């Protein structure tokens, strides 16, 4: 793997982690927070309810 791809992957994971952290702030567990980022994006309004419990 080239250094460029490695850097891109690390940066993508860091961004994903920052977004997942926002979900943990509204009550999601860590694994569910990472999935919620993919399914819902960032938490807004009351959408965290189905994201964390469904």
What is the rounded average pLDDT of the residues 5-11? 96
Q: Which residue has the tokens 């997942």?
A: 20
pLDDT at 49: 63
Contact 24, 30 (CB under 8 A): yes
pLDDT of residue 44: 77
> Do residues 21 and 14 make contact, with C-beta atoms less than 8 angstroms apart?
no
Average pLDDT rounded to a whole number, residues 3-32: 92
Give the pLDDT of residue 41.
84
**27 exposure class (CB count in 10 Å sphere: 0-12, 13-18, 19+):** middle
* Residue 39: per-residue pLDDT: 87
- Check residue 47 and give its pLDDT: 58
Report the pLDDT value the prediction gives residue 52, as an integer from 0 to 100.
77
């Amino acid at each position: 793997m080239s250094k460029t791809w490695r850097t891109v992957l690390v940066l993508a994971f860091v961004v994903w982690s920052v977004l997942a952290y926002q979900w943990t702030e509204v009550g999601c567990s860590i694994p569910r927070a990472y999935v919620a980022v993919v399914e819902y994006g960032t938490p807004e309004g009351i959408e965290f309810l189905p994201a964390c419990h469904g």
